[in-house]
């Protein structure tokens, strides 16, 4: 019986293998490979854009994703090199041309909603740039009545101040206390503190990271991807402008191709979101993120890392 089954299935299996081989030789359009198409500068011309699209088609490539990136050379009229500023009318016109021509050629077109990586640029103010938690630990001089607050730069906000008794380089667990008497540019200290102490300042800050490998005109701060309002501002400014190149025929896909937001571990509404998601206020426990404050330390760090 087993032999009869194998004999019966033999011709069908051979036919399936033939069809499979034919599929690899002439794959349908939606199964063809895609490529990332970097526009350096972008110093692009219609003639060169069309030439490269036709080469893709001839080579069996099914489509591409446009990613405008850094210039290779400065403008040089003698060599026909002109870098089109990102989001300029000329740049949008080049995208429009490629959108139309790709449809004529049967190529799929995707688009990165930005330049370089990750999202950002001159349209991202410092108040909407990638955020981080800045911590300052200052040894308390003896007999001090107050301590100046560290300088706050643009985009920064003081969150909380704590004092803690120290032993060598370590903070003594269960000795951390919040300081709330803050005025006149200083934090005021309780009297008769025994033993060496440190004051810990926690500041909502910015990473200062700049967009990597941006096209001309796309240089600037990296976006705070954790801030809904900041993200909407970016998409409204950059995304809406890019979509002007497509009219009623948008690209097949738009996306962010990279989340290399270095050192980001904070955002302006982090404390509010933490309380909503974890059920308690993180502010009194901020020192647990940088020191051992007792038995709750690991649980607090775990809750912070999960957000």
Task: List, for residues 66-78, the tens digit of each pLDDT value.
Answer: 999 999 999 999 9
% of the chain at pLDDT higher than 90? 76
Q: Torsions phi, psi of 11, nearest 5?
A: -60, -40
Q: What is the mean pLDDT of residues 157-167?
A: 93
% of the chain at pLDDT higher than 70? 95
Q: Are 266 and 305 in contact (CB under 8 A)?
A: no
The pair of three-digit structure tokens given for residue 214, joined into one six-digit string: 């941006």
Q: What is the pTM of this model?
A: 0.85
pLDDT of residue 7: 46
pLDDT of residue 11: 56
Q: What is the mean pLDDT of residues 175-185?
A: 93
pLDDT of residue 12: 57
* Chain segment 225-276, per-residue pLDDT in tens: 999 999 999 999 999 999 999 999 999 999 887 889 999 999 999 999 999 9
pLDDT of residue 5: 44
Mean pLDDT, the chain, integer = 91
Higher pLDDT: 25 or 184? It is 184
As to burial, measured by CB atoms within 10 angstroms (0-12 exposed, 13-18 middle, 19+ buried), residue 9 is: exposed
pLDDT of residue 240: 97
Q: Torsions phi, psi of 54, nearest 5?
A: -65, -35
Q: What are the Cα distances from residue 192, in Å, to 188, 196, 199?
A: 13, 11, 15
- CA quadruple 140, 144, 148, 150: dihedral, nearest 10: 0
Does the pLDDT at position 4 exceed 60? no
pLDDT of residue 42: 97
Per DSSP, 288 falls in state: G
- Name the packing angle between helices 89-105 and 46-58 (round to 10°): 30
Maximum Cα interatomic distance, the chain, rounded to a whole number of Å: 98
pLDDT of residue 307: 66
pLDDT of residue 3: 45
Q: What is the mean pLDDT of residues 176-183?
A: 94
From CA 98, how far away is CA 54, in angstroms rounded?
Answer: 11
Q: What is the mean pLDDT of residues 117-127?
A: 96
Which band of pLDDT confidence, cut at 50, 70 and 90, is reported for residue 152?
A: very high
Which range, of 16-30, 46-60, 79-93, averages the lowest pLDDT? 16-30
pLDDT of residue 194: 78
From CA 100, how far away is CA 120, in angstroms rounded?
Answer: 28
pLDDT of residue 14: 64
From CA 12, how far away is CA 16, in angstroms rounded?
Answer: 6
From CA 35, how far away is CA 292, in angstroms rounded?
Answer: 50
Higher pLDDT: 12 or 150? It is 150
């Amino acid at each position: 019986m087993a032999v009869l089954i194998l004999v019966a299935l033999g011709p069908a299996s051979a036919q399936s293998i033939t069809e499979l081989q034919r599929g690899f030789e002439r794959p349908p359009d939606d199964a063809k490979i895609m490529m990332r198409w970097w526009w350096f500068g972008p110093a692009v011309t219609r003639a060169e854009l069309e030439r490269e699209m036709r080469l893709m088609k001839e080579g069996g490539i099914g489509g591409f994703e446009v990613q405008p990136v850094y210039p290779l050379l400065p403008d040089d009229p003698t060599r026909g090199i002109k870098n089109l500023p990102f989001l300029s009318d000329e740049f949008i016109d080049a995208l429009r041309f490629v959108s139309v021509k790709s449809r004529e050629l049967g190529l799929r077109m995707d688009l990165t909603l930005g330049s370089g990586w990750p999202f950002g640029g001159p349209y991202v103010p410092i108040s909407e740039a990638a955020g981080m938690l800045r911590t300052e630990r200052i040894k308390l001089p003896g007999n001090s009545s107050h301590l100046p607050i560290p300088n706050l730069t643009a985009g920064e906000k003081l969150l909380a101040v704590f004092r803690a008794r120290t032993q060598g380089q370590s903070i003594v667990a269960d000795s951390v206390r919040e300081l709330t008497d803050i005025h006149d540019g200083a934090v005021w200290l309780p009297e008769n503190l025994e033993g060496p102490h440190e004051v810990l300042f926690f500041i909502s800050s910015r990473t200062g990271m700049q967009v990597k490998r941006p096209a001309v005109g796309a240089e600037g701060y990296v976006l705070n991807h954790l801030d809904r309002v900041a993200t909407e501002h970016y998409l409204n400014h950059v995304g809406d402008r890019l979509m002007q190149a497509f009219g009623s025929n948008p690209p097949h896909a738009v996306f962010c191709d990279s989340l290399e937001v270095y050192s980001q571990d904070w955002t302006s509404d982090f404390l509010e979101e933490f309380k909503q998601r974890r059920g308690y206020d993180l502010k009194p426990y901020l020192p647990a993120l940088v020191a051992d404050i007792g038995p709750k330390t690991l649980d607090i760090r775990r809750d912070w890392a999960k957000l």
